[in-house]
């Protein structure tokens, strides 16, 4: 098994390109949270990565701008688990999920036209509805 972070079958990020930082996590947890650095911040410099081509870099840059810091690193934070190892694994999975989503290309929509039968069916239901509502009106006896 390789040591790379598998994102898609054709894309794997080398672990050497990933930078992990540990810090104290906030929130509930009692005394344990105050003494251990379990929060993980994962940084990936995708601009200088050999794993992705220029087109993929552009897609990542466009779709994940909000996740980038001032230096251009893609930043993911995980701190909701109790151990540093679990948070590290969660950060890895979150990064893979983000990159996978950014590289996904949606299918182009094909223009379609309603069929003649569907148009006629729509108009006939409108006409029936109009007649139903018209029958509810008070008849004019003048």
Q: Tell me: the pLDDT tens digits for 70-80?
A: 888 999 999 88
Q: Hey, where are the domains in the chain?
A: 5-103
pTM reported for the whole predicted model: 0.71
Q: Tell me: the pLDDT tens digits for 76-95?
A: 999 888 888 999 999 999 99
CA distance 80 to 127: 59
pLDDT at residue 2 greater than cutoff 70: no
Q: In this predicted structure, what is the pLDDT of residue 142?
A: 62
Q: Which among 42, 24, 44, 43 has a CA at the least distance from the CA of 34?
A: 24
Q: Which CATH number fits domain 5-103: 3.40.640.10, 3.30.160.20, 2.60.120.10, 3.60.20.10?
A: 3.30.160.20
């Amino acid at each position: 098994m390789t040591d790379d972070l598998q994102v898609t079958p054709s894309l794997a990020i080398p672990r050497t390109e990933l930078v992990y930082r540990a810090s104290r996590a906030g929130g509930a947890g009692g005394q344990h949270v105050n003494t251990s650095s379990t929060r993980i911040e994962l940084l990936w410099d995708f601009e200088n990565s050999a794993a992705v081509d220029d087109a993929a870099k552009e897609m990542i840059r466009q779709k994940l701008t909000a996740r980038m810091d001032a230096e251009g690193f893609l930043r993911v934070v995980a701190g909701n688990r109790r151990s540093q190892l679990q948070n590290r694994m969660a950060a890895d999975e979150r990064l893979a999920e983000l990159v996978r989503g950014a590289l996904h290309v949606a299918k182009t929509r094909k223009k379609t036209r309603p069929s003649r039968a569907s148009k006629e069916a729509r108009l006939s239901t409108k006409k029936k509805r109009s007649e139903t509502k018209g029958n509810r009106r008070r008849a004019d006896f003048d």
